[in-house]
Amino acid sequence: MKKNNETVTKLRTGDEVIVIAGKDIGKKGTVQKISKFNNKAVITGINLIKKHTKPNPQLGETGGILEKEYNWLKDHKKFQNWVDGRTSEPFVNANMIELKCTGWMSNRGRQNVASFLSKELLIDWRWGANYFESMLIDYDVHSNYGNWMYVSGVGNDPRDRKFNIKFQADRYDPNNKFQNLWLQGKLFV
């Protein structure tokens, strides 16, 4: 085994290593078992070290670039109200109803509803990203998760953003034309 072009003479049970293949790639662990294969020592057992000092978004942890601890709520009722367009914000509701009826939503709408879910309702952004994945006809994994991380504050952006939904509605739907269309309840009757 080589490390930085130096030969490591002995590898023993209990030594700390970094996994370089398989589902746990990049994780630290300690050697549990060493076996021989073709006259070479091969690590066949590793105990993963599960405690990290900082959240790592690449490992699915939620601290993000700001290293901020998030306490996401797991409120299924609030999430379902968001999905169904039954929140306290008409602009959010109109966008969610449009998504449910058509499978599409504007980028501005996507940012507003994502901000509302993660910043107002404090629900885990991954729930919203998963819902979008199931609904959007123009779904793209990279754009979807990148935008959700960006808006919720765990992505590769040092600013912790929160959209002012009322300002956004006044700016992008000043005559309530969009909201009136999707909130009328009789669109497809």
How does residue 22 score in pLDDT terms, banded at 50, 70 and 90? low
- pLDDT digits over 92-141, tens only? 999 999 999 999 999 999 999 999 999 999 999 999 999 999 999 998 99
Query: What does pTM read for this prediction?
Result: 0.66
User: 75-83: long-range contacts (C-beta < 8 A, 24 or more apart)?
Assistant: 75/121, 75/123, 78/121, 78/123, 79/117, 79/121, 79/123, 79/127, 82/113, 82/116, 82/117, 82/121, 82/123, 82/128, 83/131
Residue 111 and residue 172: Cα distance in Å, rounded? 13
Give residue-wise pLDDT tens across range 44-79: 666 666 544 455 555 455 556 666 777 889 999 999
Q: With a cut of 80, say whether residue 83 has pLDDT above it.
A: yes
d(CA 82, CA 146): 21
Residue matched to tokens 């959240």: 55
Q: Which of 17-26, 107-116, 157-166 has the highest mean pLDDT?
A: 107-116
